[in-house]
Amino acid sequence: MTVLKALEKRSGSCCELCGSKTFLEVYEVAPTRGGNPDESVLSCEECARQLADPGLTDPNHWRCLNESMWSEVPAVQVIAWRMLTRLRAEGWPADLLDMLYLEAETLEWARSIEREEQAEEEVVHKDVNGLVLQAGDSVVLIKDLPVKGSSMVAKRGTAVRRISLDPDHAAYIEGKVNGQTIVLLTKYVKKTS
């Protein structure tokens, strides 16, 4: 039996999220090994579109989760938890989240995507050789660098100790050169041991 047929049988040929009976498709709930009905939901085109692109999310469409969050299917529960979490600022989803109970394994599955997104968003600072820089490291300049807003030039070979990292941009670090704190581009520094 195909995944689609198994999901149609399980759901009665309805979207397992909003109940729609049109334009149904298999939506795999990440992370997945693929091809397993237990890791998928039968979704209408509209639900799948909004799940795939958070920018298209219509909070009113997801009021359907008031019903579907009670599903006994873990994949449906995971989607409900993720969407309610995404929409939490709307107010009503926070109330539903407070009522939603997930088994430990299902909650771990629901949260796994958050960890992947956080890892992707994590800013990693690397020197010219690709070595990871940490706050407090020492680096050496590999090029003469004019300092904007000053007549000073930070010379090649200058050691910069106890650097600090820009939390938003992987390309920038800060350090003191000749007693002045300046911003440096990571592509012009080499980590010292």
Per-residue pLDDT tens over the stretch 177-191: 888 889 999 999 999
CB-based contacts of 173: which residues, under 8 Å, 6+ apart?
125, 133, 139, 163, 164, 165, 166, 183, 184, 186, 189
Judgement on whether residues 95 and 36 belong to the same structural domain of the protein: yes
- In a domain, residue 79? The reply is yes
The amino acid that residue 113 corresponds to is I
Residues 27 and 115 in one domain: yes
pLDDT range class, residue 99, cuts 50, 70, 90: very high
Sort 124 into a burial class: Cβ within 10 Å, 0-12 / 13-18 / 19+: exposed
Residues 129-177: pLDDT tens digits? 889 999 999 999 999 989 888 888 999 999 999 999 998 888 999 999 8
Q: 139 burial class (0-12, 13-18, 19+ CB within 10 angstroms)? A: buried
Run of H or E including 183: strand 180-185
Token readout for 178 is 């000749």
Residue 14 gets the label, from left (phi > 0), alpha (psi -120 to 50) or beta, of beta
Q: Is residue 126 part of a domain?
A: no
Q: Which residue has the tokens 């020492």?
A: 138
Same domain for 59 and 19, yes or no, is: yes
- Report pLDDT for 116: 53
70 Cβ neighbours under 8 A, 6+ residues apart: none
How many CA atoms lie within 13 Å of 118's alpha carbon, on the beta-carbon side?
A: 5
Instruction: Give domain status of residue 131, yes or no.
Output: no
Asked if the structure places residue 134 within a domain, the reply is no
* 9 and 49 in a common domain: yes
Same domain (yes/no): 160, 66: no
| Residue the block writes with tokens 């298999």 | 26
Q: Are residues 9 and 70 in the same domain?
A: yes
Q: Is the pLDDT of residue 114 over 90?
A: no
Q: Is there a domain that residue 128 lies in? A: no
Are both 104 and 175 inside the same structural domain? no
Number of domains in the chain: 2
Give the model's confidence band at 35: pLDDT under 50 very low, under 70 low, under 90 confident, else very high. Answer: confident
Structural domain contains residue 21: yes
Residues 116 and 145 in one domain: no
Domain of 144, in residue numbers: 139-191
Same domain, 83 and 165: no
Instruction: Determine the average pLDDT of the residues in 11-19.
Output: 95
Q: How far apart (Å, rounded) are the C-alpha atoms in residues 181 and 60?
A: 50
